[in-house]
Amino acid sequence: MQPLHYVFLSFVQAATEFLPISSSGHLLFFKGLFHSSGIPILFDIVVHVGSLIAIVVFYSKRIGKTLGSAWLELIGKREEKYNSIFLFYIALSTVVTFVFYLILKDPIEMKYRSPSILFVTYLVTTGMLLLTYLEGKKDKSEIATKSVFLPIAVGLLQGFAIMPGISRSGLTISPLLLMGIRREEAAYYSFFLAIPAILGALVFKLFEMESIGFLIDHWETVVLCFGVSTLFSYLFLALLNLILRRGRFWTFSAYTLVMAVVSLIIFL
Q: Are 223 and 6 in contact (CB under 8 A)?
A: no
Tell me which of 112 and 12 has the higher pLDDT. 12
Considering the entire predicted model, what is its pTM? 0.90
Closest CA to 66 of 46, 82, 42: 82
* pLDDT of res. 36: 65
Q: Are 183 and 245 in contact (CB under 8 A)?
A: yes
What per-residue string of b and e applies to 143-177 under the rule 16 or more CB within 10 Å gives b? bbebeeebbebbbbbbbbbbbbbbbbbbbbbbbbb
* pLDDT of res. 28: 83
Averaged pLDDT, 75-97: 90
Neighbours of 240 (CB within 10 A): 20
Report residue 212's pLDDT band, with 50, 70 and 90 as the boundaries.
low
What is the rounded CA–CA span in Å between residue 176 and residue 247? 13
Is the model's pLDDT at 211 over the cut of 60? Answer: no
Q: Are 107 and 121 in contact (CB under 8 A)?
A: no
Tell me the CA distances in angstroms from 141 to 41, 97, 150, 266, one per residue in order: 41, 24, 13, 43
* pLDDT of res. 75: 84
- Mean pLDDT estimate for the chain: 88
- The whole-angstrom distance between residue 207's C-alpha and the CA centroid of its chain comes to 21
Domain residues of the chain, as ranges?
Answer: 3-267
Question: How would you write 4-71 as a 3-class SS string?
Answer: HHHHHHHHHHHHHHHCCCCHHHHHHHHHHHHCCCCCCHHHHHHHHHHHHHHHHHHCHHHHHHHHHHHH
* pLDDT of res. 200: 84
Sequence letter at residue 129: L
Averaged pLDDT, 22-51: 80
Report residue 260's pLDDT band, with 50, 70 and 90 as the boundaries.
very high
In this structure, what are the phi and psi dihedrals at residue 141, rounded to the nearest 5 degrees?
-120, 180
Is the model's pLDDT at 195 over the cut of 80? Answer: yes
Closest CA to 30 of 42, 18, 43: 43
Q: Are 21 and 255 in contact (CB under 8 A)?
A: yes
Report residue 208's pLDDT band, with 50, 70 and 90 as the boundaries.
low
Say whether 141 sits in a helix, a strand or coil. Answer: strand
Is the model's pLDDT at 32 over the cut of 90? Answer: no
Averaged pLDDT, 205-229: 76
* pLDDT of res. 76: 78
Closest CA to 49 of 229, 266, 254, 260: 229
Neighbours of 256 (CB within 10 A): 28
Tell me which of 219 and 120 has the higher pLDDT. 120
Q: Which residues contact 76 (CB under 8 A, 6 or more apart)?
A: none
What is the rounded CA–CA span in Å between residue 197 and residue 17? 12
Report residue 70's pLDDT band, with 50, 70 and 90 as the boundaries.
very high
* pLDDT of res. 115: 86
pLDDT tens-place string over residues 88-126: 999 999 999 999 988 887 777 666 678 889 999 999 999
